[in-house]
Copies of this chain bind each other. A is one copy, B any other.
Amino acid sequence: MIAQPGAGSPAGANVGSAAGPLSGIIVVDLTRVLAGPFCTMLLADLGARVIKVENPRSGDDSRAYGPFINGKSGYFIAQNRGKESIALDLKNPDDQAILHRLLRRADVLVENFRPGTMARLGFGQESLKLLYPQLIYAATSGFGQTGPYADRPAYDIIAQAMGGIMSLTGHEGSPPTRVGASIGDLGAGLFTALGIVSALHHRSRTGEGIAVDVAMLDSQLALLENAIARYYSTGTSPKPLGARHPSIAPFEAYEVADGHIVIACGNDPLFRQFCRAVGHDQLADDPLFATNTKRSENVVALKAAMEAFLKTQTRQYWLDLLGKAGIPSAPINDVEQAINDPQVRHRKVVLPLDDASVAPLEVAGSPIKFSAYPVPEKRPRAPDLDEDRARILADFP
C-alpha cells in the first residue's frame, strides 16, 4: 500500500509555495487558463508542490492574456504564482516518458482538457490507474466527463448562462448581466480542490487513488442557494432583484447624498435598533414594516421611506453612525478601496508578489488561515515557461 508517496521525500519539498497542511503532496498540473489553474493555486497555497506542465510552443494560453504588467500577463500571474513550470510536448514519446517519471511519484494529477483528450494522448484515467494506483486523477471540465454535452466546449459565460445565475443577477428589464468575476470557472476550481483533498483523505484510509470529476455547469447549480426552492415554492422561476435579497428586508443598496451604501438587518430587533440609530423610531412602529415578512412585502415603500432621510447625508456620515450603533452596513468598494481596506490589510489577504519585475503588483492569497501555519508576508512568483525543468528532472529521476 502506497499511502503517502510524496510525504517527506525530496521530490515533495515545497519550492515555490508556502508550508501548509498539504506540504509534501505533489500535484502534476496539466491545466490551462482558469478553472484548473485556480484549483491548483489553491493547492499550492495549502502547501502542495504544484508542477505545471505546459506545451513547449507558448505554454498556458493565458500567458498571452491581458492585463500586462511590464510585459508579463497579470492574468497568468494571478492564477499561477507559487507553481513550478516544465514544458513537455505530450505527443512526443520522450516527453511522455518524463511525464511518467513525474506521475510515478505524484499524489495528484489535475487536467482540464475536453473529455477524451487525455485518453488519446495515452494518459486516460483508466490506464493511469493501473500504472499508478496511488494517483488521484482530477478532471475539471465545462460539462463533466459524462452526459450528452460532455464533448462540448465551454467558457465561464456558458456555465453562468446555462446554470441559472445570470437569470438571477442584474435588474429586471436590464440587459443580461454576468457575475463580474468568472464564478463559472472559480466555482468549479474550488469544488475540484475540495474533491482532491477529500480524495487524499480517502487514500490515507484505503491506499487507493480515486478519480474526481467536476463540471463548471454542475458547480453553478450547486451555487444557486435557495433559488431552486423558490422555484418549487411558487412554480415560477425567480427574477433578478438588483441589489435586493429575496426574503430579508432591509437588505440592499440605498442611495445617500453622495452615492450608495448597503444596509442589512436580518431580524426584527436589528431593524428596531436601526430605526433608533437613525432617529426614526416611527418606522419600526409602522404596521407596514413591523416584521421581516411585512417589510419584504412592502420593500419598495420601505426603501422610499429609508432613502427619504438617508439622502440627506453622505456615505461617511451614515457609515460612522450605523457602525457605532452596530448595524450591519458597508460602502460599495471598488477594487482599489477593497484591497486597501484596513481589515483586508490586517488579514494579509492581498499581498505583494515576490517578483521585482512586476512590482508593486499585489495578488489575493488563500483566505484560509490555519493555527499551525503563519500567513506569509509575500506571495511566491509565477514561473516563466519551463523555468524549473532542471530541478524537476533532478527530483524525478
Given A69-B232, A77-B229, 16 more A-B residue pairs with CB atoms under 8 Å apart are: A21-B199, A22-B198, A65-B248, A144-B343, A144-B369, A157-B262, A161-B262, A169-B178, A177-B177, A179-B179, A188-B367, A212-B368, A215-B347, A217-B341, A218-B349, A237-B334
The segment from A95-103, A203-211, A383-391 found at the interface with B is: A203-211
Check: A131 CB closer than 8 A to any chain B CB. no
Most buried by B among A170, A213, A264, A362: A170
Contacts of A143 in B (CB 8 A): 343, 347
Query: From residue 1 to 48 of chain A, which have CB atoms closer than 8 A to chain B?
Result: 4, 7, 20-22, 24-25, 33-34, 42, 46
Question: Please, how many angstroms separate the alpha-carbon atoms of A327 and B154 in the complex?
Answer: 9
Question: Please, how many angstroms separate the alpha-carbon atoms of A245 and B231 in the complex?
Answer: 29
Q: Copies of this chain, how many? A: 2
SS of A interface (majority): mixed
Contacts of A65 in B (CB 8 A): 247-248
Question: Please, how many angstroms separate the alpha-carbon atoms of A219 and B190 in the complex?
Answer: 11
Task: Point out the residue from B149, B171, B224, B234 that lies within 8 Å of A174, measured CB to CB.
Answer: B171
Task: Point out the residue from B156, B164, B197 that lies within 8 Å of A333, measured CB to CB.
Answer: B164
Question: Please, how many angstroms separate the alpha-carbon atoms of A114 and B147 in the complex?
Answer: 44
Contacts of A363 in B (CB 8 A): 228-229
